[in-house]
């Protein structure tokens, strides 16, 4: 009897001890999810737009996954219902899922208390005051990179900086689409690299590697792309005439917790300790300076954790669906498809990159794309000799590239709503995601042949 079967099981039998035989029909639940979520998103965004809303957020992601889970349970009626429940429970019982859920809660509390204390706004104002006005656009890029690394959220960064970018464009006579695109691009840099970003948490925990390992793998790709973008923006700014950019007051002490969190994470400190210390530092700074009181602090942490509930619910539902798809042979069908078309480490990396980009384009959510693609990426990693730190880096990087340039993603929709622009007017000036895509392609081409044996990191 195979290790995936219980007595009387009718699931596809394992082949050579590697897993169930390929069965593309097991992928039906994901097709159901994409049809409901992507179909409704396109309908309500472009065909019958929702006034004052974003079409891809009309349909609840957990509800769409709930319907997909129902479809998974209705498949293969020969398998007893109790056995399917057992498969789901086993999928949710993975240690990394539990750790990921707990980190989501802490990251939400950190984000909430940091925002209430005024950390993001004070950090942005501090950085704006040191940027030469002539180089306001490159300065906005650097600021958005740093703020997003500190906050761990691209949408949060855009919410803070897009109005500042609009004001800078108006006062300095700068092109508004360029200023806004620069902020959006920089926000994707931090979303990709931040140790408290939900994309980083999802990528590292699903690939079973440490935050530091993924950060070091990512920065080799993201930093050259950011530097190239910065050089391009500086060149474009050299011809600017005198520009006036309004200066703002800030409190330096409220910027320190962000930098402390970044340093602790890069040094390899446990992520739970990093987030707890960050929360305590912001509590002390905010209460000490009077920017928030005791009750506001707890309300902010409540709101921050509540903001993570949907992501946590999606994580649980995807764990259920992925377990059923894996047991039914769906993942093995994808691997069989890839085996017939790619070879070696480069092929495995390309497979992970394209799979992640497709999932993000389909779901318009980079965290969700990672959670869906991660189990398959892990199998590809082991099959083709791709180090786990590389697969985690590709998951995060490729999802951020796609998320940054799709006009129906939350980042461009929020930026457009805040500034009165359209997503299509911003996309051509999104230099960073396009340069990052080139850097990813170069990293895949430079990858060596498949190493002997399997390894995780």
Cβ proximity of 387 and 404 under 8 Å? no
Contacts of 74 (CB under 8 A, 6+ apart): none
Give 189 or 272, the one with higher predicted confidence.
189
Domain membership of residue 268 (yes or no) is yes
pLDDT score for 7: 45
- Region 156-175: mean pLDDT is 77
Domain assignment present for 296: yes
Cα 33 to Cα 26, 70, 202, 368, 395, distances in angstroms = 13, 11, 20, 12, 20
Q: SS in 3 state form for the chain? A: CCCCCCCCCCCCCECCCCCECCCHHHHHHHHHHHHHHHHHHHHHHHHCCCCCCCHHHCCCHHHHHHHHHHHHHHCCCCCCHHHHHHHHHHHHCCHHHHHHHHHHHHHHHHHHHHHHHCHHHHHHHHHHHHCCHHHHHHHHHHHHHHHHHHHCCHHHHHHHHHHHHHHHHHHHCCCHHHHHHHHHHHHHHHHHHCCCCHHHHHHHHHHCCCHHHHHHHHHHHHHHHHHHHHHHHHHHHCCCCCCCCCCCCCCHHHCHHHHHHHHHHHCCCCHHHHHHHHHHHHHHHHHHHCCCCHHHHHHHHHHHHHCCHHHHHHHHHHHHHHHHHHHHCHHHHHHHHHHCCCCHHHHHHHHHHHHHHHHHHHHCCHHHHHHHHHHHHHHHHHHHCCCHHHHHHHHHHHHHHHHHHCCCCHHHHHHHHHHCCCHHHHHHHCHHHHHHHHHHHHHHHCCCCCCCCCCCC
Band of residue 455 on the pLDDT scale cut at 50, 70, 90: very low
Residue 223 has pLDDT above 90, yes or no: yes
Residue 164's pLDDT is 78
Residue 80 has a CB neighbour count (10 Å cut-off) of 13
Q: Among candidates 389, 401, 11, which has minimal Cα distance to 209?
A: 389
> How sure is the predictor about 243, in pLDDT bands with cuts at 50, 70 and 90?
low
Instruction: Flag whether pLDDT at 331 surpasses 70.
Output: yes
Per-residue pLDDT, 442: 94
- At what angle are helices 136-151 and 256-266 packed, to 10 degrees? 70
Structural domains counted in the chain: 1
**Segment of 15-29, 254-268, 307-321, 394-408 carrying the highest mean pLDDT:** 394-408
pLDDT at 195 over 90: no
Rounded Cα gap, residues 399 and 353, in angstroms: 8
Domain housing 221: 97-197+210-306
The mean pLDDT of the chain is 81
In a domain, residue 276? The reply is yes
> Band of the pLDDT at 15, cuts 50, 70, 90?
very low
Is residue 360 one of the residues assigned to a domain? Answer: no
Residue 437 has pLDDT above 90, yes or no: yes
Residue 279 lies in a domain: yes
What local confidence, expressed as pLDDT, does residue 394 receive?
94
**Residue 221, pLDDT score:** 93
Task: Return the pLDDT at 246.
Answer: 63
**pLDDT of 224 over the 90 cut:** yes
pLDDT at residue 3 in the model = 38
**Does some domain include residue 141?**
yes
- Residue 238 in any domain: the answer is yes
- Separation between Cα atoms, residue 25 and residue 198, nearest integer Å: 31
Buried b / exposed e over 364-378, threshold 16 CB at 10 Å, is bbbbbbbbbbbbbbb
pLDDT value at residue 242: 55
Residue 30, domain member (yes or no): no
The per-residue b/e assignment along 430-452, b for 16 or more CB within 10 angstroms, e otherwise, is: bbbbbbbbebbeebbeebeebee
User: How far is 28 from 371, CA to CA, in rounded Å?
Assistant: 17
User: Pick the residue with more confidence: 432 or 417?
Assistant: 432
Residue 218 has pLDDT above 50, yes or no: yes
pLDDT of residue 329: 85
- Overall average pLDDT of the 94-98 stretch: 73
Q: What's the pLDDT at 283?
A: 92
Of residues 91 and 438, more confidence is placed in 438
- Whether the per-residue pLDDT at 351 is higher than 70: the answer is yes
**pLDDT above 70 covers what percent of the chain?**
88
């Amino acid at each position: 009897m195979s290790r995936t079967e219980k007595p009387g099981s009718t699931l596809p039998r394992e082949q050579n001890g590697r897993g169930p035989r390929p069965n593309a029909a097991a992928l039906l639940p994901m097709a159901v999810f994409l049809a409901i979520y992507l179909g409704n998103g396109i309908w309500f965004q472009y065909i019958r737009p929702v006034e004052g809303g974003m079409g891809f957020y009309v349909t609840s992601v957990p509800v769409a996954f709930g319907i997909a889970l129902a479809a998974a349970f209705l498949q293969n009626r020969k398998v007893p219902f109790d056995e399917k429940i057992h498969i789901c429970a086993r999928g949710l019982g993975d240690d990394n899922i539990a750790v990921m859920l707990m980190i989501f809660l802490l990251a939400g509390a950190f984000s909430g208390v940091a925002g209430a204390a005024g950390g993001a706004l004070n950090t942005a104002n501090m950085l704006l005051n040191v940027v030469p006005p002539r180089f306001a656009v490159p300065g906005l890029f650097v600021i958005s990179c740093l703020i997003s690394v500190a906050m761990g959220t691209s949408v949060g960064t855009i919410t803070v900086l897009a109005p500042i970018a609009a004001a800078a464009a108006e006062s300095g006579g700068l092109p508004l689409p360029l200023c806004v695109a620069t902020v959006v691009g920089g926000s994707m840099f931090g979303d990709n690299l931040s140790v408290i970003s939900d994309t980083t948490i999802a990528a590292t925990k699903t690939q079973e590697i440490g935050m530091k390992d993924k950060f070091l793998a990512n920065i080799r790709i993201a930093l050259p792309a950011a530097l190239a973008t910065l050089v391009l923006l500086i060149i474009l700014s050299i011809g600017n005439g005198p520009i006036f950019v309004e200066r703002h007051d800030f409190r330096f002490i409220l910027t320190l917790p962000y930098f402390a969190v970044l340093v602790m994470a890069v040094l390899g400190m446990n992520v739970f300790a990093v987030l707890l210390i960050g929360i305590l530092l912001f509590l002390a700074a905010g209460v000490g300076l009077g920017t928030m009181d005791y009750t506001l602090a707890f309300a902010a942490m409540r709101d921050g954790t509540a903001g993570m509930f949907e992501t946590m619910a999606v994580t649980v539902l995807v764990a259920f669906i992925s377990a059923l798809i894996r047991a039914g042979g769906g993942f093995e069908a994808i691997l069989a498809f890839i085996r017939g078309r790619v070879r070696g480490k480069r092929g495995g990396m390309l497979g992970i990159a394209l799979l992640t980009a497709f999932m993000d384009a389909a779901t318009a959510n980079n965290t969700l794309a990672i959670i869906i693609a991660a189990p398959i990426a892990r199998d590809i990693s082991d099959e083709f000799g791709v180090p786990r730190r590389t697969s985690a880096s590709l998951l995060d990087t490729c999802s951020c590239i796609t998320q940054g340039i799709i006009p129906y993603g939350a980042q461009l929709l929020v930026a457009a709503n805040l500034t009165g622009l359209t997503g299509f007017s911003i996309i051509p000036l999104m230099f960073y995601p396009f340069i990052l895509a080139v850097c990813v392609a170069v990293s895949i081409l430079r990858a060596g042949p498949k190493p002997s044996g399997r390894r995780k990191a």
